[in-house]
A and B are shown apart, each in its own frame.
Chain A
Amino acid sequence: MISFTEVGFRYADATHPVFRDVSFELPEGDLCLVVGGTGSGKSTLLGAINALVPTFTGGTLSGRVRVAGRDTAQHRARDLADVVGYVGQDPVRGFVTDTVEDEIAYGMEQLGINPVAMRKRVEETLDLMGIAELRRRPLAELSGGQQQRVAIAAVLAAQPQVLVLDEPTSSLDPTAAQDVLAAIATLVHEVGLTVVLAEHRLERVMQAADSMIWLPGDGTAHHGRPAEILATASVQPPLAALAKSVGWQEVPLSVREARRTALAAGLLPAAPPEPLMPSGAPVLSARGVEVRFGDLTAVGGVDLELPPGSITTVLGRNGAGKSSLLWALQGALSCTGDIAVAGTDPRALDAFSARRLVTLVPQTATDLLYLPTVSAECAQADAESHAEPGTTAGLLAELGVSVPDDRDPRDLSEGQRLALVLAIQLAAGPAVLLLDEPTRGLDYRAKAELQRIVRRLAADGIACLISTHDVEFAAGLSQRTLLMADGEVIADGTTRELLISSPAYAPQMAKVFSPVPVLTVDDVVRGLP
């Protein structure tokens, strides 16, 4: 169905080619997973299937790409719209109309399909994706998972044979991600589409994949069965890391497979020791924090105390109030209740002084960046925090992420941008650091970097509070976890007890080796003889 023959691609002003001599073939009806670190060319590969690359993005493409018998060199992306359905990284940005029904009909309008057939197909697509009750809703009102399903429905309405998805679950919480993946699996198994999917978080989608393409970033592509590719790839989901450290030949793709292999091999790690909880007088204490928007209560009566040098994560689904809580603790959102950071209430201070007590790195880090170069941003941060010139640049270097000085901040990768914003916010020397969903769009390596950075900051005495719905990230990092739902904290305890006792939030290692309370691969390795 899709075949790449000696494909090479280079952007117009780039020094290195993105691909060199890539060849593979995907049979019809396959679910193929494309994995690789950020910047390794996943989006470019997906765009080449659709002929967006090179006709839309520029650059030179050599070799041949054939999709459903058509050569993409002879066609533009719009000509392939009836064969390939492409859903980009942020579906909300691709919405053209206002309501769900109009969005689904839009693609068919462009193809000139007659109105009677259009109505029939809209109904069928709504049923197929399970969104029939949403048909009249405005798109802006839907949740993230619903929007993703609408975006998929919108390209399905043209009845393509191939579906290409670029990071469909990156910004979704686990339940919504599960819904989307289930819908995709239905499309592959019931409808018979060929699906090509690029993902960073592989834990849930690995088992459904029929084949995998790994892009190491040096221009080559490796195609094969997931179990074999993951054994050698640098992309290491927890199960692959487990297989590598324990020495299994093939990577188990699901928790059940891993558990059976572990039981068969007789692997039983010892329970890890209890981690040391930081103690000391709390540097942040909040009592009865309540955030209301009119009659909507976003955060209802939260009590929280953070000792210095602690790392705490807040878990919960989207809309549970995690962001609102963090903004309220910074003092940027009006709330009732008592908040004291190192004795003072940040809400009573002006922005500059509040920042020296508690800083927040928001979800969209780019909102904070507005200058043309990285060095300009660093200089501005120094000026804003009344710090020595060069503090921010020094912090950036200490964080260990290499960020070139003269680059436009918008051209940086996700991990580099996060490091830059972290350095800018840390220039004020705060006692408390709040991170709002920092793991979006980060690959495993960048997440490990972030864990290392946060541990270093905690060692320096800064209390860190991180909101996330990436369970593996939380498992490997924090000592204490809070669980939020509907604006309230429903559970507060050590990470170990909380994650292990909840089936929805248990990390994969815990499920593989239950009842042993291990959270990460490191726990397992240390616990083995």
Chain B
Amino acid sequence: MTANGRLSLALAVALAIGVVAFTWPLFLRPESGMPPTLAPVMFALTLPIVLAVVLSELSSGHLDVKALAMLGVLAAIGTVLRPLGAGTAGLELVFFLMILAGRVFGAGFGFALGAITLFTSGLLTGGLGPWLPYQMLSAGFVGLFAGLLPRATGRAELAWLTGYGMVSAFVYGWLMDFSFWPFALGDGTQLSFDAAASPLENLHRFVLFNLATSMGWNLGRALTNAVAILLVGPALLRLLRRAARQSHFVTVAE
């Protein structure tokens, strides 16, 4: 199998597993006898295995030392940016860098950057919690799909990136909320997850829960992404592309 094939396969598997991990509330049936608070814990134990598998394939097979150093450096920038917004609702500066880097360096790099940035910032703040695998996976997806955006240049590219920034902010929020929902509410409230109800009804409840709690955050995140991409996007894209050009090399000629 070619290197690219391996990469695509690994990313596709990550995507599939991620979808299952985030939408488990819609699959949980009451006859399985599992209480809803247990299910996220099961996933919190399996997700690290999945992440380890995908990251190992990505990093050892497809990133040479220059890409690895660039990954480390960009993750460091993201880590430094993350606490800058803490305290203000939704001011999350860490995503626009992932989106721009994913755009320039590709889907695999974007996924790795998302996962590693969040992991490193968790390490630095002492916050390696059960939410981390979910965050790493969602952030990885943000970077991954940024690398899959269609080709464009100039203002069209900026428009694509800004739009993607806003959409991905909302999707990230929804994904994290999905995993967070049973923890916040537990069983027994009217907005709680009910295993006996149909998936659509649970979705309805989830949407209401989301509206009540995190719409503000998601909106804030979307606005931050859009503003940051519009402000520094062109200059950063130029810098990253210059670095990408400098990293390519031609083999020795006799």
Residues of A within 8 A of B (CB): 12, 54-62, 73, 370, 372, 408
Contact = CB atoms under 8 A, between A and B. Distances in A.
A54 B235 contact: no
Contacts of B253: 60-62
Nearest to A371: B235
Interface stretch (B25-33, B39-47, B154-162, B244-252): B244-252
Contacts of A62: 253-254
A323 B230 CA distance: 37
A268 B39 CA distance: 93
Contacts of B249: 12, 54-59
B204 interface: no
Contacts of A54: 249-252
Contacts, number: 31
B250 A58 contact: yes
Given A12-B249, A55-B251, A59-B249, 9 more contacts: A54-B250, A58-B246, A58-B248, A61-B253, A62-B253, A73-B252, A73-B254, A372-B235, A372-B238
A55 B246 CA distance: 12
Contacts of A58: 246, 248-250
28 contacts: A12-B249, A12-B250, A54-B249, A54-B251, A54-B252, A55-B249, A55-B251, A55-B252, A56-B66, A56-B249, A57-B249, A58-B246, A58-B248, A58-B249, A58-B250, A59-B250, A60-B252, A60-B253, A61-B252, A61-B253, A62-B253, A62-B254, A73-B252, A73-B254, A370-B235, A372-B235, A372-B238, A408-B242
A439 B204 CA distance: 68
| B interface: dominant SS | loop
A59 B249 CA distance: 7
A71 to B, nearest CB: 10
Interface in B208-254: 235, 238, 242, 246, 248-254
Interface string B185-210: 00000000000000000000000000
Contacts of B248: 58
Contacts of A61: 252-253
A433 to B, nearest CB: 30
A61 B249 CA distance: 12
A12 B253 CA distance: 12
A62 B251 CA distance: 11
A59 B252 CA distance: 8
Nearest to B64: A56
Contacts of B235: 370, 372
A12 B252 CA distance: 11
B238 A60 contact: no
A56 B69 CA distance: 13
Contacts of B252: 54-55, 60-61, 73
A58 B243 CA distance: 13
Contacts of A59: 249-250
Contacts of A370: 235
Nearest to B69: A96
Most chain A CB within a 10 A radius of its CB, from B246, B248, B252:
B252
A231 B248 CA distance: 41
Contact of B250 (A60, A73, A372, A408): A60
Contacts of A56: 66, 249
A57 B242 CA distance: 14
- Please provide the 9 A-B residue pairs with the shortest distance between their CB atoms, ordered closest to farther: A58-B249, A60-B253, A73-B252, A61-B252, A58-B250, A54-B252, A12-B250, A372-B238, A60-B250
A299 B249 CA distance: 49
Contacts of B246: 58
Nearest to B238: A372
Nearest to A51: B252
A138 to B, nearest CB: 16
A60 B251 CA distance: 7
A106 to B, nearest CB: 13
A12 B235 CA distance: 24
A501 to B, nearest CB: 48
Nearest to B253: A60
Contacts of B242: 408
B72 to A, nearest CB: 9
A49 to B, nearest CB: 15
A277 to B, nearest CB: 48
Nearest to B72: A96
Nearest to A408: B242
A12 B247 CA distance: 12
A61 B252 CA distance: 6
A408 B241 CA distance: 14
Interface in B61-90: 66
A56 B246 CA distance: 10
A372 B239 CA distance: 9
B125 to A, nearest CB: 18
Nearest to A372: B238
B83 to A, nearest CB: 20
A133 B66 CA distance: 34
